[in-house]
Amino acid sequence: MTSNETITKTPKRGRPGNDRRDVITAAVELFNQHGYEATTVGMIAERLGVSKSAIYHHVASKEDLLASALDRALSSLETVLAGQPAAEPITARLEFVLRGTVHALVRELESVTLLLRLRGNTELEREALARRRRFDRAVADLVRDADEAGELRAEIDPKTATRLVFGMVNSITEWYRPGGSLDADALGDLVVGLVFDGLRPR
């Protein structure tokens, strides 16, 4: 069974009090704190204040939890790409994708953090990393296309620019905390401002 099949199967009916999303959220928090291998179903049950058997009312296995969490993160990013306008200039599309990516990171902060920490130790992780690389390549292609269209500063190497943009956006998972002075809109404005003030021709 593929990871997508695991993710999209009909969820089991759970006990009152916690639903499947609650279980996944608790699992992701623990995966990020202790690592996937070190986290047990018992630890997840303890976090939620339920028995281990109650966890299995919602998911088939610990790997099912990881698959669902990674799909949540990746689907959020892929939805951004799918929704980009077919508009010119190309930098308008790039701006849309950057803003959407920031929103996805803020909305799915723990799941995206987990995604960015993957090492590809299992087939499931390798599949997730392949999906992430496809997203990264699509953004890199936008930067390249904008450069070829003359919409970026001539002295900027597009590959270097792409790496710097990814570094800035991905770093959000390391320091951003919900409930602070920056919401997703304000953070998106800052990222777009920093990127395009530096990339656009003067």
pLDDT band at 10 (very low <50, low <70, confident <90, very high): very low
> What angle (nearest 5°) sits at the alpha carbon of residue 74, between those of residues 68 and 76?
100
pLDDT band at 9 (very low <50, low <70, confident <90, very high): very low
Listed residues 34, 64, 94: the one ending a domain: 64
Per-residue pLDDT at 17: 63
* 58 lies in the same domain as 85: no
Write down which residue in 64, 96, 116 finishes a domain. Answer: 64
161 pLDDT more than 70: yes
Burial of 142 (0-12, 13-18, 19+ CB in 10 A): buried
- CATH number, domain with residue 27: 1.10.10.60
Are residues 39 and 60 both part of a single domain? yes
pTM value?
0.85
Same domain, 35 and 76: no
- Give the pLDDT band of residue 51 (cuts 50, 70, 90): very high
C-alpha distances in angstroms, 11 versus 7, 14, 20, 23, 60? 9, 9, 7, 12, 9
User: Can you give the pLDDT at residue 107?
Assistant: 95
- 97 with 175, same domain: the answer is yes
Residues 159 and 109 in one domain: yes
Judge whether residue 132 has pLDDT over 60.
yes
Residue 104 is part of which domain span? 69-199
